[in-house]
Structure 1
């Protein structure tokens, strides 16, 4: 696999780990009675699995996005010449704005 694929997979795994820890803390600390509700429900494990999976997906995506945005190195060196902008001419000189009259037809469609 390429370096970029390993980079993204590593950061996705970091996000998954953080999300799993977060979900475990939600259930372990019984935030808003979540653990009690899941334990009393016949499909509680499905709900807990869905919550954990969606948290992993969200946190993994966020972690990957943050990691990509923090990349600083370029894959390829810059090529070609850099175009320089011409200096701004003094007011009233070449390139100064000129008022233009525009006529509008008052037809209805």
Structure 2
């Protein structure tokens, strides 16, 4: 399996574990009375599965994005500091009054 696929799957799994911990904390602390809703309604298991899946998508995406942004490339060319900007011409704004007809009516 290619290295980048392994990287994505590994960090997606970490996001899944984070989501399980988050949902477990939500249920344990009974935030918004979720424990009662999940255990005492017929749709509770479906809601629990959906909560885990959507939290997995959220935390997995954040974990993958964090890992990719933390990757560092080694550059052999230490002299290059990036491109140079061209001088951008600054336009001087001149305020010109424009007469506007207005009725003197008040509502």
Q: Could you tell me the TM-score, scaled by structure 1's length?
A: 0.66
SS state at 1:17 partner: helix
Cα RMSD after superposing both structures? 2.8
User: Following the alignment from structure 2 to structure 1, what is the Cα–Cα distance between the partners of residues 54 and 60?
Assistant: 10
Aligned counterpart, 1:42:
42
> Displacement, 1:5?
1.2
Matched residue, 1:23: 23
Q: How many residues align?
A: 84
CA offset digits 1:48-77 (Å, max 9, x no partner) = 110111001110010000000010025xx7
Structure 1, unaligned runs of 5 or more? 89-94, 98-109
- Which residue does the alignment assign to 1:71? 71
Are residues 42 and 9 of structure 1, via their aligned partners in 2, closer, same or farther at CA, if it must alter by over 3 Å? same
Q: CA separation of 1:73/1:45 partners in 2, compared to 1, >3 Å: closer, same or farther? A: same
Unaligned runs of at least 5 residues, structure 2? 90-107
Distance 2:48 2:16 in 1: 15
Deviation of residue 78 (structure 1)? 7.1
Corresponding residue of 2:103: none
Distance 1:78 1:22 in 2: 42
TM-score (norm 2): 0.67
Partner SS for 1:63: helix
The whole-number CA distance in structure 1 between the counterparts of 2:29 and 2:23 is 10
